Chain A
Amino acid sequence: MKKFLLYLIMAYLALTVQAIFFKGSKPDFVLVLVCFYSLRHGDLRGIAYGALTGLLIDTAGGVILGPHIVSKSLAAFLIWAVREKMFQWNIFINTVLIAILSIVDIFVVYICLEVFSGVPLDNMPIKIFVMQVIYTVVASVAAYKFLKPGKVRDMLFQD
């Protein structure tokens, strides 16, 4: 319960920072949080938390079920699946993966919005997404020291 509340607080804080400090192109701090949490706790729990944060983002956007619930649970699943296959984990692998997942996230949201909502996205300039990926990668590098997996004693989401 304590862990759940801590996660929820961090997710809300990430959303607040995204909404207040950034106009136009916004970083995806929540994706970074979901990825790190999934790395720590893996499998179904990571996916459940990914889905929960996706639900929060969608609610803040004015819908109940939206594309972020799909994209964030997919990100949690993918990062955990990759982690399972890796012998080691370092900042380089972590950064590359978050960059890839950030692009996958944008792609999934784009497809979902086009297919399920019919939202016309052809007006959106590509620089919005490029900046989003850059911001997200920078955030993941900055957060790595505090959230990296494998460091059991000092970790934020300790079991």
Chain B
Amino acid sequence: MLRKKFFLFVFFIILLFALLTLQGIKGKSRFIDFPLYPLKLLEQGGTAVINSVKNTFNSYIMIVGKEEENRRLADELNEFKEAENRYLETGLENERLRKILQLKSRRHDYVTSAEVFARDPSSWFQKLWINKGTDDGVERDMVVVTSLGPVGRIHRVMKQGANVMLITDVNSSVAVRLQSSRIEGILEGRGDDRCYMKYVSKDVKVKPGELIITSGLEGIYPRGMLIGYVTDVKSEGEEIFQLIEVAPAQSLSTLEEVAVLKR
């Protein structure tokens, strides 16, 4: 019995490998997006709950030591704090949206602004989903930015959503240069919250803290945008090039609103 099932399983795995090969040969195929909707709802709801709990906890920490007063005014204070949190959240959201909208007036290549609705649940990729797709003019390889600089590029597009490959993803490569010395290199994602700048000769002196900007040479990212800063430099061994560790200019794990720019 085990033997029969084993052969069935082997057949299933071979079939999967054949389909994976076919998918690899065909390139990008039609994407089925309906399994994403429950994830979208759960992640949005989950994030809202976490933010609410975080805000309430912070509010509580602020009023520790005033138990007597707190007990007396607990109801009023809670309501006030809740309203304050709502106000604060709205204010912060407005601020972020205002910065995104400033991009619209500043840049001729602005396509649309979008909200982040889900993230990749595995450790393998640094990708996220935004709520704008082909219906809003979003296309593959368009650049995704915030007011602080580029965060990634469009990897896959659906009608009302798109998958963004962050600059920290292992598949991501960006043509960059060191701002002060103008030396060029390639910024590759590492799969966590850092990148590596590669192909910089050991003769070039690079210091931690040095800023890195896009060079625009790969034809995707606009040139001159701040993308990160040097955190560590490794130049030991027999290699011709040094390995420069780079931290993105902004936290990519807390992105909420982004703008999409043309290539």
A residues whose Cβ falls under 8 Å from a Cβ of B: 12-13, 15-21, 23-26, 28, 30, 43-44, 47, 51, 55-57, 59-70, 73-74, 77, 81, 84, 109, 112-113, 116-117, 119-121, 123-125, 128-129, 132
Closest Cβ–Cβ distance, residue A145 to chain B (whole Å): 24
| A109 x B170 contact (CB < 8 A) | no
- Choose among A18, A68, A116 the residue with the greatest number of B CB atoms under 10 Å from its CB: A116
Whether B237 sits at the interface, judged by CB under 8 Å, is: no
- 24 A–B pairs (Cβ distance < 8 Å), ordered by A: A15-B42, A16-B39, A16-B43, A18-B121, A19-B43, A20-B46, A20-B47, A44-B5, A55-B35, A57-B122, A59-B32, A61-B125, A61-B127, A62-B31, A62-B156, A62-B163, A63-B23, A64-B29, A65-B19, A65-B23, A67-B20, A70-B16, A116-B23, A128-B192
Whether B65 is near chain A, meaning CB under 8 Å from some CB there, is no
> When the two chains form their complex, are residues A61 and B124 in contact, meaning their CB atoms are under 8 A apart?
yes
Q: Is B36 an interface residue (CB 8 A)?
A: yes
Interface size class of B (residues with CB under 8 A): 35 or more
Extra 18 A-B pairs, beta carbons < 8 Å, given A61-B121, A125-B192: A18-B121, A20-B119, A21-B50, A23-B193, A25-B123, A26-B123, A28-B122, A60-B39, A60-B118, A65-B20, A73-B12, A74-B13, A113-B124, A116-B17, A123-B196, A124-B192, A125-B191, A128-B123
Closest approach, in angstroms, between the C-beta of A69 and any C-beta of chain B? Answer: 6
Contact A73 B13, beta carbon cutoff 8 Å: yes
Q: How far does the Cβ of B122 sit from chain A's closest Cβ, in whole Å?
A: 6
Contact yes or no, B121 A26, CB < 8 A: yes
Q: Is the interface of A mostly helix, strand, loop or mixed?
A: helix
B188 touches A123 (CB 8 A): yes
Closest beta carbon of chain B to A55's beta carbon, Å: 7
User: Please, which residues of chain B bring their CB within 8 A of the CB of A57?
Assistant: 121-122
- Least CB distance from B205 to A in Å reads 23
- Given contact pairs A60-B39, A64-B31, A123-B196, A19 touches B120 in the complex (Cβ within 8 A): yes
List A contacts of B42 (CB < 8 A).
12-13, 15-16
Interchain CB contact under 8 A, A18 and B190 = no
The verdict on B204 contacting chain A, using a C-beta distance below 8 Å, is: no
> What residues make up the interface of B, taking CB atoms closer than 8 Å to A?
2, 5-6, 8-9, 12-13, 16-17, 19-21, 23-24, 29-33, 35-36, 38-39, 42-43, 46-47, 50, 118-125, 127, 155-156, 163, 170-171, 188-193, 196, 253
Contact present for B121 and A19 (CB under 8 Å) = yes
Residues of chain B within 8 A (CB-CB) of A55 are 35
Which residues of chain B are within 8 angstroms of A12 by Cβ–Cβ distance?
Answer: 38-39, 42
Q: A25 vs B46: C-alpha distance in the bound complex, in angstroms?
A: 19
CA distance A43 to B7 in the complex (A): 12
A-side contacts of B120, CB under 8 Å: 19, 60-62
- Which residue of A60, A112, A124 is within 8 Å of B121 (Cβ)? A60
Residue of B20, B32, B191 near A128 (CB, 8 A) is: B191
Across the interface, which residues of B come within 8 angstroms of A116, CB to CB? 17, 20-21, 23-24
Q: Are A117 and B24 in contact (CB under 8 A)?
A: yes
Q: A12-B39, A16-B43 are in contact. Are A121 and B170 (CB under 8 A)?
A: yes
Which chain B residues lie closer than 8 Å to A109 at the CB level? 124
Give the residues in chain B near A26, CB-CB below 8 Å: 121-123
B2 near A124 with CB under 8 A, answer no
Which of B42, B127, B253: most chain A Cβ within 10 A? B42
In the complex where A16-B42, A16-B46, A25-B123 touch, is A124 in contact with B170 (Cβ < 8 A)?
yes
User: Bound complex: CA of A112 vs CA of B24, how far in Å?
Assistant: 11
A73 to B224, CA, bound (A): 46
A-B pairs with lowest CB-CB distance, top 9? A62-B163, A124-B191, A23-B253, A16-B42, A18-B121, A24-B192, A19-B121, A15-B121, A116-B20
Task: Find out whether the CB atom of B36 lies under 8 angstroms from the CB atom of A60.
Answer: yes
Compute how far the CA of A44 lies from the CA of B2 in the bound complex, rounded to whole angstroms. Answer: 11
